[in-house]
Amino acid sequence: MKRTKDYLLLFILLFVAICSKSQTYPYCISGRFAENDLFNSLAIISHSNVVYGQNLNYQVGMDTLKMDIFHVNPLIDNLSKKPVVIFFHGGDFSSGSKTDMNTYCEQLARRGFVAASVEYRLGWNNNPGGSSCDGDFSTYRYASYRALQDANAAIRFLTFNASMYSIDTSFIFIAGQDAGAITAMYAGFVDQNEANVLYPGALADLGGINNSSNNLIAAYSIKGILNWCGGIADTNIIDANENIPVLSIHGLKDSIMPVSIGTYKYCNSTLNPAPIFYGPKQLFQRMKNIGLCTETNYDANGEHCIFPTLEPVNYVPFKYTCFFKNILCGNCNTTEKVSYNIQSCMDAAPLTSPSILSGNQLTISPIPVHSQITIDGFINEEATIQIRLISLLGQQWIVGDKLKNKSGQLHQTFSLPQGIASGVYLLQLQMNDEVINRKIIIE
């Protein structure tokens, strides 16, 4: 019996080893999908008010549902497919606009992602002019269900039209703020059976969560979620086999969405019970207990989606961009921290790399560049090399083409194009099917 167990253990170890070797990280590219912009704003193409579906709103009128999509001009970007980040705005399921998230989406596009900001149906009886704790929470729950229907429809639309926007449907990230964070979490983790428990009667009254707002059929994979000042109604919807990492960013003084567990806006009426939400502390504990990677970052003085310490202009986008980048590189650490937690992901490396040359093994000299550039590294297979310089406006200069290099030491020196202006450039090294990008400064 013991010998049988030994053989079984050996088989498992070999299987794990084979699987780990076959794991690849095609978007773990140095300098891309990281905290700094890779492309200039002029290189970004935006598609405004793209219709992805329609459905009845809470007043039984028909809403046409739209999204805004941002990506780099394909004439400038060498990647034929890219990961996508899909943003859902906040507003308590009663207000807000997709344009609230456009600045973040444009920024993600400059860093190399495709990004989309999605509108969804809004509206519930929230007692306008009075206390929202006196609103009709049955209509609040249905508003959340409609948002989930629309979120799934938006993801299906982008998946179905992936080739139009250069999206790799194996690498979809979803993100949201406030009500949009609730929606993103549910879009990642809730199936129809779980929705039937969370929203009694909604299936019969509003239809299913996976076949409403459009009739497109498309398969996709969610790789990670940003939960920005949101929560969920039941942590049990998070299953170990779903394996979706979550980054939560939350203020410890939030008076709308509890940090641990509590009612919506801490409303306490027994006659009109408000929905109960589990905040980031409960999410973190649940995911940690079942072995899923999760990161939580708190602002000690933060209120609801307002972070005086973890300011939202630079730090928050830095955090979620690097969270996504590390997932693209096979790196994810379960951590929980109050205050700043900065770690660059510019040169994040995969756990298992199929590269013939890692970006971290590539050295460029001198820095800054004046007239000539020398590239040194070590490659483990014979390669045909092309070297180009790309400006932030997308201008390109091929400075080395069809260069042959055997495995071993890589050493290439080339002169700058005549008349090239000083500034920040992308040095792009393509070897066989591999592309490495590095930023350089020319003086």
Q: Compute the distance between CA of residue 68 and CA of residue 53 in angstroms, rounded to an integer.
A: 13
End-to-end CA distance of the chain: 71
Q: Which of 138, 132, 142 is CA-nearest to residue 267?
A: 132
Using only the alpha carbons of the chain, give its radius of gyration: 24
Burial status of residue 91 (CB atoms within 10 A of its CB: 0-12, 13-18, 19 or more): middle
Residues 33-92: pLDDT tens digits?
A: 999 999 999 999 999 999 999 999 999 999 999 999 999 999 888 899 999 999 999 999
In whole angstroms, what separates CA 133 from the centre of its chain? 33
Note the CATH number of domain 22-338: 3.40.50.1820
56-60, 144-148, 259-263, 353-357: the lowest-pLDDT one: 353-357
Q: What is the mean pLDDT of the chain?
A: 88
Query: Which pLDDT score is estimated for 357?
Result: 52
SS (H, E, C) the chain: CHHHHHHHHHHHHHHHHHHHHHCCCCCCCCCCCCCCCCCCHHHEEEEEEEEEEEEECCCCCEEEEEEEEEEECCCCCCCCCEEEEEEECCCCCCCCCHHHHHHHHHHHHHCCCEEEEECCCCCCCCCCCCCHHHCCHHHHHHHHHHHHHHHHHHHHHHHHCHHHHCEEEEEEEEEEECHHHHHHHHHHHCCHHHHHHHCCCHHHHHCCCCCCCCCCCCCCCEEEEEEECCCECCHHHCCHHHCCCEEEEEECCCCCCCCCEEEHHHCCCCCCCCCEEECHHHHHHHHHHCCCCEEEEEECCCECCECCCCCCCCHHHHHHHHHHHHHHCCCCCCEEEECCCCCCCCCCCCCCCCCCCCHHHCEEECCCECCEEEEEEEECCCEEEEEEEEECCCCEEEEEEEEEECCEEEEEEEECCCCCCCEEEEEEEEECCEEEEEEEEEC
Dihedral angle over CA of 155, 157, 159, 161, nearest 10: -150
pLDDT at residue 145, as a whole number: 98
Boundaries of every domain in the chain: 22-338, 359-442
Residue 301: CB atoms within 10 A of its CB come to 14
Distance, CA of 121 to chain centre: 22
As a residue count, the chain comes to 443
CB 168 within 8 A of CB 328: no
> Taking the mean position of all CA atoms in its chain, how far away is CA 409?
36
CB of 189 closer than 8 Å to CB of 239: yes
Two tokens, residue 117: 């900001």
Residue keyed to tokens 């973040």: 104
86-106: average pLDDT? 97
Q: Residue 15 contacts by C-beta under 8 Å, 6 or more apart in sequence?
A: none
What pLDDT was estimated at residue 359?
A: 45
Q: What phi and psi values does residue 225 have, to the nearest 5 degrees?
A: -135, 140
- Ramachandran angles phi, psi of 17, nearest 5°: -65, -45
Supply the pTM of this predicted model: 0.77
For residue 392, what pLDDT band results from cuts at 50, 70 and 90? low
Q: Could you read off the pLDDT of 206-218 as tens digits, one per residue? A: 999 999 999 999 9
Share of the chain above pLDDT 90, in %: 61
**What integer pLDDT is reported at residue 425 of this predicted model?**
81
71-to-46, 101, 272, 303, 434 alpha-carbon distances in Å: 7, 15, 45, 32, 21
Characterize the bridge pairing of strands 276-278 and 261-263.
antiparallel
359-442 topology per CATH: Immunoglobulin-like (2.60.40)
